[in-house]
Structure 1
Amino acid sequence: MTTEADKRTFAPESTQDYGDDPNAVRDTETYQKEYVRGFVEKWDELIDWDARAKSEGRFFVDILAGRGKKSVLDVATGTGFHSVQLLKNGFDVTSADGSAEMLAMAFQNAADQDFVLKTVHADWRWLNKDVHGKFDAIICLGNSFTHLHDEADRRRALAEFYAALKHDGILIIDQRNYDGILDDGFSTKHKYYYCGDQVTAEPDYVDDSLARFKYTFPDKSEYFLNMFPLRKSYVRGLLEDVGFQQIHTHGDFQQADDEETPDFFIHVAEKEYAE
């Protein structure tokens, strides 16, 4: 007997298959099947590396350098944008992702800019089984943490991040402003994160435990991601529960969370308390 899960597992590499009821697909393992080759090959059209670098500026570089961090584990490297930006600024970077397709694209993107990525194919829930050593900092960016649909998975992943950090390490983790989406409906300035102006990324369906986003590209192709709509206060609570001593939250790439409706929240969580 073939189940819907089996069908999704063996979906063709350039097409997505959510079965008969896409809105019912709410499991952590889904992300590996969502990032099919056709979607991955178009992902950089959504980001637009040049526009993203301009909007982001030195935000992450300054946070890391200002705290004297050198070794960085990028646990959601995607197509490699942040790993490459950090390499350009002299950081020692290890790039991990749960999607083999994404890692292959990241490696090629870095090679095109004369960098050799140190890549690891790893599931966050068992991160320290595949990634060895301790890091000054971990970054988990691109709204990636919302791929974890179960609270147990989220807590386990954060515990793995915490264990992979040195005693004074920091975690930088971001998320969409799901508070705004859930409470007021979707809107975006399309300014900071997804800068490709020919690509649309908007919710196809939203409830308290699912945000299904549709990505439409210039060639009319459509892809989807099923994610969990994390609220800001909930994420901060999880970070505190796992042991982080200080958490600073920023709106988009601003130094303070002072924008009324940012597209993204960025949390900087520190293991060591400092005045």
Structure 2
Amino acid sequence: MCQNDDTIVPRDLYKEQYSPEFAGRWDELIDWQRRADAENNFFQGILKEHGAETVLDIACGTGFHVVTLTADGFDVTGADGAPNMLAQAKENAQRFGMDDLRLVEAEWTRLNEAFSGERFDAVICLGNAFTHLFEESDRVRTLNQVYRLLNEDGIAIIDQRNYDAILDNGFHSKHQSYYLGETVHVSPEEMTEEILTMRYEYADGDVHFLSLCPIRQDYVTDLLKDTGFSSVERYGDFAAGYDFYEPDFVIQVAKK
């Protein structure tokens, strides 16, 4: 597992991989309505449980959670390091009549510069985005930035693919929780302990790739605790008390 600083991919590779063409088709993979149905207000419930009102989404992508959480009354700011995804988020926000939605291009390791003097009740990093970081020092630095951006008793929510299941048992996906589009076939192109490159093939033959770091659940939990978070709760495909290898995605909720 890529836990050290022996960089095997360029730090900004994700920006290149999220090309204008891929960003423009990302929502075919997500399927906003089916995604909302699958989540069943899970994140809204977590945020309300912790009394969160202000939310910073540091991996807003094409804007699904920024738009849906804003529609549900949260004060949300969206950020992303991939300009093409951010451009798509702006288009989606306008489509939902949210022209004034705050969307910021920001690198994770420099969040305190992008949001100088600001604090939030919750910082979220969803869509398996945290695994774009291949260097442990970048993961540590990012979590420290997140921690400092939180109000007292604030929460960080981070999710990831269940890489434990993928690395130990091979890739499979129920396609019941996250990537719900029916016109995209998702499969691993390259899979080692150090890198997982996913292939996204659309029905018309268009193909795109994303390179990800297959970090394990317990490792992320330990990172969060080492950052200073007082407690960490885990969910598998939105359910507590899950079987370790069963869910496609694991969500970790860390309280400051």
TM-score (norm 1): 0.88
Deviation string 1:136-169 (CA, Å, 9 cap, x unpaired) is: 0001000000000000001000100001101111
State the Cα distance separating 1:28 from its structure 2 match.
2.3
**1:110 maps to 2:93:** yes
Cα RMSD after superposing both structures? 1.2
Check 1:130–1:104 CA distance in 2 against 1; reply closer, same or farther (3 A cut).
same
Query: What residue identity is the alignment partner of 1:170?
Result: I
Picking from 212, 215, 225, the partner of 1:230 is 215
Picking from 172, 175, 181, the partner of 2:160 is 175
**1:99 maps to 2:87:** no
State the Cα distance separating 1:200 from its structure 2 match.
1.2
Query: What residue identity is the alignment partner of 1:119?
Result: L
SS at match of 1:102: helix
SS at match of 1:173: strand
CA distance in 2, matches of 1:25, 1:124: 19
SS at match of 2:186: strand
Query: What residue identity is the alignment partner of 1:222?
Result: V
Alignment partner, residue 121 of structure 2: 136
User: Contact 1:249–1:268 at 8 Å: present in 2 too?
Assistant: yes
State the Cα distance separating 1:27 from its structure 2 match.
3.0
Picking from 117, 127, 131, the partner of 1:146 is 131
State the Cα distance separating 1:202 from its structure 2 match.
1.4
User: Contact 1:27–1:148 at 8 Å: present in 2 too?
Assistant: no
Query: What residue identity is the alignment partner of 2:39?
Result: E
Alignment partner, residue 16 of structure 2: 33
CA distance in 1, matches of 2:241, 2:124: 19
CA distance in 2, matches of 1:61, 1:90: 10
SS at match of 2:59: coil
| Equivalent pairs, count | 248
User: Contact 1:27–1:150 at 8 Å: present in 2 too?
Assistant: no
Deviation string 1:3-58 (CA, Å, 9 cap, x unpaired) is: xxxxxxxxxxxxxxxxxxxxx95232211111110100110000000100000111
State the Cα distance separating 1:257 from its structure 2 match.
2.9
User: Contact 1:26–1:227 at 8 Å: present in 2 too?
Assistant: no
**1:120 maps to 2:120:** no
State the Cα distance separating 1:260 from its structure 2 match.
4.5
Query: What residue identity is the alignment partner of 1:176?
Result: R
> How does 1:186-225 map onto structure 2 within 5 Å?
186-225=171-210
Alignment partner, residue 69 of structure 2: 86
| Unmatched runs of 5 consecutive residues or more in structure 2 | 1-6
Query: What residue identity is the alignment partner of 1:65?
Result: K
Alignment partner, residue 3 of structure 2: none
TM-score (norm 2): 0.94
SS at match of 1:72: strand
Alignment partner, residue 38 of structure 2: 55
State the Cα distance separating 1:198 from its structure 2 match.
1.4
CA distance in 2, matches of 1:32, 1:259: 32
| Unmatched runs of 5 consecutive residues or more in structure 1 | 1-23
Deviation string 1:146-194 (CA, Å, 9 cap, x unpaired) is: 0000000010001000011011110000000000110000011011100
Bigger relative contact order (CA 8 A; separation at least 6): 2
User: Contact 2:184–2:201 at 8 Å: present in 1 too?
Assistant: yes
